[in-house]
Amino acid sequence: MNALAATNRNFRLASRLLGLDSKLEKSLLIPFREIKVECTIPKDDGTLASFVGFRVQHDNARGPMKGGIRYHPEVEPDEVNALAQLMTWKTAVANIPYGGAKGGIGCDPAELSVSELERLTRVFTQKIHDLIGVQTDVPAPDMGTGPQTMAWILDEYSKFHGYSPAVVTGKPIDLGGSLGRDAATGRGVLFATEALLEEHGKSVSGQRFVIQGFGNVGSWAAQLIHEKGGKIVAVSDITGAIKNSNGLDIPSLVKHSREHRGIKGFHGGDPIDPESILVEDCDVLVPAALGGVINRENANEIKAKFVVEAANHPTDPEADEILKKKGVVILPDIFANSGGVTVSYFEWVQNIQGFMWDEEKVNNELKTYMTQGFKDVKEMCKTHNCDLRMGAFTLAVNRVARATVLRGWEA
């Protein structure tokens, strides 16, 4: 089941539990606006190249729309749609005043020079500048984009609207980016895990963790869990997988991964088959790579007691059912990885105030939001007698539905 089908399914189950009016349910699913633009740029060799850019703005009942921009050869309208909708629910669970959006350009950033990427980003911004904005839609980086991309969007947008640092988040620190943004999703994963384990009378210290994916989220989560005394027994990334039952030396692994562009060849553990990473023996499994990795083929083999979804949509609905029967507790992605968008919100707030926070304040505020978020999800679980995924979805859908009705959607 792809991300769109799974998100729609979860939304429908949540609206059944909440007893939503069918007209309202339909209205919440349809995106507010879909934008598709042609971006033609001169390449470095003088030839012209055309690319298609998308922006799906899903819902703005609770505030400006928020979501990433990805540069990837397979930017598919369907996928962008699913991810925009997911952002609506994610911002609602985190209780930050945003709706969801997502966008991208169908291109392979590896095949474009830096100056071609800059021209492409500026043309895309020229095409959508009157449809995004500080109080309308605030883009952020995603796959294939980063702080530099945001800097170009900010500059191009500011030519039309005056200096507006709050129009994008995930900016370089020098242009109004927030301290703590880089580690935010990984740190949020730590806070979410702490809240979940505490609920079960445990703490991070002494638990055995397996982390699939060692990119930004996986590596930060590993470092922060390691600092709290968690024992990370296996890790994988695109280059391979390693395990050490006594716990990997994470600071050395991070250094190795930086120097060798991957964890392959690290001497502090034994190489294992990357396919088997999810079924390694551990207490907490953290999928922090791609979607759809836990499916009906491997769900029965999973030995972890807890699964913390640091990636988007790592667990298929069929696997969900299998794991539920086994008594495995799953902390859903729309809560577990919302640390990134929460600190993006802090960045936006700092830009609007024109007053920047120190890193300690950013991290403390994030902890407050994540801890409260977990309590809110648990409250919904009790009310509707459901698992954490449905608790998170009912919480989100309820917040968006209430805002929609209060604003007068039938008028």
Closest CA to 376 of 346, 334, 348: 334
CA distance linking residue 243 with residue 175, whole number of Å: 40
Catalytic residue among 23, 102, 127, 202: 102
The count of other CB atoms within 10 Å of the CB of residue 176 is 22
The token pair at 131 is 């449809």
Rounded Cα distance, 391 and 397, in Å: 10
**Cβ-Cβ contacts under 8 Å for 72 (sequence gap 6 or more):** 104, 106, 107, 108, 109, 143, 144
Check whether 127 is labelled as a binding-site residue: no
Q: Please choose, from the candidates 310, 364, 301, the residue with its C-alpha nearest in 3D space to the C-alpha of residue 337.
A: 310
Return d(Cα 15, Cα 30) in angstroms, integer.
Answer: 15
Let me know if 102 is a catalytic residue: yes
Can you count the helices (H) and strands (E) in the chain?
13, 12
What percent of the residues of the chain are helix, what percent strand, and what percent coil, each to the nearest 5?
Answer: 50, 20, 35
Say how far apart CA 30 and CA 163 lie, in whole Å: 33
Is residue 36 marked as binding?
A: no
Half-sphere CA count of 113, side-chain side, radius 13 A = 8
Q: Establish whether 344 is an annotated binding residue.
A: yes
C-alpha torsion 313→316→322→325, nearest 10: 40
Asked if residues 64 and 30 have their Cβ atoms less than 8 Å apart, the reply is no
Tokens of 236: 């994988």
Is 105:120 a contact under the CB 8 Å cutoff? yes
Strands (E) located in 43-192: 48-57, 65-72, 99-106, 137-141
Write out the two tokens for 393.
């979805």
Q: Which amino acid is at 343?
A: V
Helix (H) or strand (E) holding 287: strand 284-287
Ramachandran angles phi, psi of 69, nearest 5°: -120, 120
* Side chain identity, residue 74: E
Asked if 40 and 48 touch (Cβ cutoff 8 Å), the reply is yes
Residue 303 in marked binding region: no
On whether 264 is known to bind a ligand per the annotation, the reply is no
How many Cβ atoms from other residues are within 10 Å of residue 83's Cβ?
A: 26
List the binding residues. 66, 90, 185, 216, 344
Annotated binding site for substrate: 66, 90, 344
Catalytic residue annotation: 102
The annotated binding site for NAD(+) is made up of 185, 216
